């Protein structure tokens, strides 16, 4: 059964006819006239905001089927056919800040991130080193805006860090600053859409699982963090780095 984010059917921004924006092995991104992005993902990707998840593990690059998408009120049409679906609602995870527990998580993340850093960045490349330095400095000082659009990747590394930082806020605070309205102008369309959802405090099932895994039941932490670190090329790394920095700054305020 196809799963559809409930927002897609209720938020006016998502109504309309879509055409293809970009396509990858597991994800097809569609855009409509309002510049809203809907991602059609295959079964291997978790459910999440603005996603339509199919029940097959299709490789979109080899498939012959490519269908036109239209959202009309509460109806989802793929190639003019109305499609039955089940609704997905974002799960909310709210945690209390326990200082000691958080220090353990910070230490653990620090270790994992350091290992990954060596693989991701070339110490001989001026560009790479500048990116790492700038990001770390700005994160330490909580200067999120200056990271928008910065770094490599379709979702620039800086954005991923902001995303992770906001995720931390989402877990432990009640409010999140509006970064989306600024993000729209400063970064790629895809990335700003991710930030849009985080601003709405709507997280994907994968992030929900991450929160639980790190702070609540810790089952298979190592494996799951490894999985996250392999998101995109550096996206997973960025998200965890941002999260870690949030936790460190929050620790100072306690």
Partner 1 sequence: MSKFTKVLKDSYFDSVTLMSLSAKIKKETKASEVTVLMATDMNKDLISKVGLGTDDVLNAGQNDCVIGVACDGDAEEIVNRIVKELEDGNNQKKEKKEVVYHTQAQFYKEEDPNIVVISAPGKYAAREAKIALENGKHVMLFSDNVTEEEELSLKQLACEKELLLMGPDCGTTILNGVGLCFANNVTRGNIGIVGASGTGLQEVTVLIDKQGGGISQALGVGGRDLHSEIGGLMTMQCMKALDQDEQTSTIVVVSKPPASDVEEKVVQLARTLSKPVVLIFIDGQPREDENGVYYCSKLSEGACKAVEVTNHSLKTSFDLSSDVLDVCAREQSKLTPNQKYLRALYCGGTLCSEALSITRGVLKKVKSNLAKKEEEKLSDPLVSEYNTIIDMGDDFFTNGKPHPMIEPSIRLDRIVQEAKDPTTAVILLDFELGYGSHDDPVGITIDAIQEARQIAENEGRYLVFVAYICGTEKEKQSYTTAKKLLEENSVIVTNTNEQAATLAVNVCKEVQ
Partner 2 sequence: MKINELFGKDLYVVNIGSPTFLKDLDSQNVKYENLEWAPPAHGDVELIKVLDKLERHKEEIDKANDEVVAKVKAAQGKLVDCKKAIDAIPGMKPNMILHSGPVQDWEHMADPQKGAVLGAIVFEGWASTVEEAEEYLKTHEIIFSPNHHLNSVGPMAGVVSPSMPVHVLYDEVNDTYAYCPLNEGLGGVLRFGKNTPDVIERLLWMKNDFMPVLAEALKICGGIDVRNIIMQALNMGDECHNRNKAATSLFFREITIPIMKTSFPEEQKEKALAFITNNEHYFLNLSMPYCKLAQLAGTGVKNASIVTIMSRNGYEFGIKISCLPDEWFVAPALMVKGLYFPGYSEEDAAPDLGDSCITETNGIGGFAMAASPAIVKFVGGTVADAFNYSQSMQEITWSNNPNFTLPALDFKPSALGIDIRKVIESGVLPIINSGIAHKKAGIGQIGAGLVTPPFECFRKAIIAFADQFED
**Could you tell which of partner 1, partner 2, none binds residue 217, using a CB distance below 5 to 8 A set by kind?**
none
82 near partner 2 (CB under 8 A):
no
Kindly list the strands in the beta sheet with 81-82, ordered across the sheet, starting from the edge strand earlier in the chain: 16-17, 69-72, 75-78, 81-82
DSSP H/E element including 91: none
d(CA 119, CA 122): 8
Q: Which stretch binds partner 2 (CB under 8 A): 18-26, 127-135, 137-145, 183-191?
A: 18-26
Residue 33-62 contact track with partner 2, rule CB under 8 A, x = bound: ----------------------------x-
Rounded CA separation 237/218 (Å): 19
What distance in Å separates the CA atoms of residue 88 and residue 139, rounded to the nearest whole number? 33
Is residue 67 part of the contact set for partner 2 (CB under 8 A)?
Answer: yes
Considering only 63, 115, 137, 251, the residue that binds partner 2 (CB under 8 A) is 63
Q: Does 66 bind partner 2 (CB under 8 A)?
A: yes
Q: How distant, in Å, are the alpha carbons of 8, 15, 229, 234, 240 from that of 199? A: 16, 20, 23, 21, 18
**Binding region for partner 1 (CB under 8 A):** 21-22, 24-25, 29, 59, 61-62, 120, 122, 124-127, 130-131, 134, 146-156, 158, 186-190, 232-235
Q: Indicate whether 23 belongs to the interface with partner 2 (CB under 8 A).
A: yes
Binding status of residue 79 toward partner 2 by CB under 8 A? yes
Q: Which is nearer to partner 1, 126 or 219 (CB)?
A: 126
Residues ≥6 apart with Cβ < 8 Å to 149: 156, 158, 159, 186, 187, 188, 191
């Amino acid at each position: 059964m196809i799963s559809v984010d409930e927002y897609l059917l209720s938020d006016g921004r998502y109504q309309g006819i879509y055409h293809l924006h970009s396509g990858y092995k597991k994800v097809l991104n569609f855009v409509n006239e309002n510049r809203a992005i809907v991602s059609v993902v295959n079964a291997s990707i978790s459910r999440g905001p603005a996603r339509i998840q199919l029940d097959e593990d299709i490789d979109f690059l080899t498939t012959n089927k490519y269908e036109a998408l239209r959202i009309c009120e509460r109806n989802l049409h793929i190639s003019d056919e109305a499609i039955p679906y089940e609704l997905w609602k974002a799960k909310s995870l709210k945690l209390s800040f326990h200082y000691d527990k958080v220090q353990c998580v910070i230490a653990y993340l620090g270790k994992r991130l350091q290992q990954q850093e060596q693989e991701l960045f070339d110490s001989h490349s001026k560009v790479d080193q500048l990116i790492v330095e700038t990001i770390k400095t700005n994160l330490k000082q909580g200067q999120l805006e200056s990271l928008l659009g910065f770094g490599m990747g379709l979702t620039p590394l800086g954005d991923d860090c902001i995303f992770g930082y906001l995720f931390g806020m989402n877990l432990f605070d009640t409010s999140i600053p509006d970064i989306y309205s600024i993000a729209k102008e400063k970064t790629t369309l895809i990335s700003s859409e991710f930030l849009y959802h985080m601003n709405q405090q709507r997280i994907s099932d994968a992030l929900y699982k991450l929160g639980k895994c790190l702070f609540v039941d810790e089952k298979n932490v190592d494996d799951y963090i490894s999985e996250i670190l392999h998101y995109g090329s550096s996206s997973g790394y960025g998200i965890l780095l941002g999260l870690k920095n949030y936790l460190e700054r929050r620790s100072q305020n306690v």
